[in-house]
């Protein structure tokens, strides 16, 4: 593939990512400053148990995979870490593993 073609694809992908991310928003009612609102540690836990919560949510409307309202950014960061790091997201997605 030629360099101009690769560059135009990169620009198109960046433009698409910006367009899609512009649609993201959080409802003010979804963020709480109360002491009892789920924070970073609850987000970490909810991210870790996400696969099981998702399966359960398919069969029961009482099970949710994401707590609302929560503390906002810190809950989201914990949720992300729980899914990717604790859940093995990047490890299990790798194509090759080193064997000793």
Tens-digit pLDDT profile for residues 30-55: 777 788 889 899 999 999 999 899 99
**pLDDT for res 33:** 77
Torsion angles phi and psi, residue 98, rounded to 5? -80, 135
Q: Are 85 and 50 in contact (CB under 8 A)?
A: no
pTM over 0.85: no
Q: Are 18 and 50 in contact (CB under 8 A)?
A: no
Tens-digit pLDDT profile for residues 61-82: 999 888 888 888 899 999 999 9
Torsion, CA 56, CA 23, CA 28, CA 58, rounded to 10: -10
**pLDDT for res 22:** 74
Tokens of 41: 């540690």
């Amino acid at each position: 593939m030629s360099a101009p073609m690769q560059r135009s694809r990169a620009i198109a992908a960046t433009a698409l990512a910006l367009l899609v991310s512009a649609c993201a928003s959080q409802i003010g009612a979804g963020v709480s400053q109360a002491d009892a609102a789920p924070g970073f540690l609850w987000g970490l836990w909810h991210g870790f148990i996400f696969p099981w919560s998702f399966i359960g949510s398919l069969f029961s409307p009482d099970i949710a995979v994401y707590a609302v309202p929560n503390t906002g950014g810190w809950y989201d960061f914990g949720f992300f870490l729980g899914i990717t790091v604790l859940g093995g997201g990047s490890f299990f997605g790798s194509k090759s593993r080193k064997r000793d």
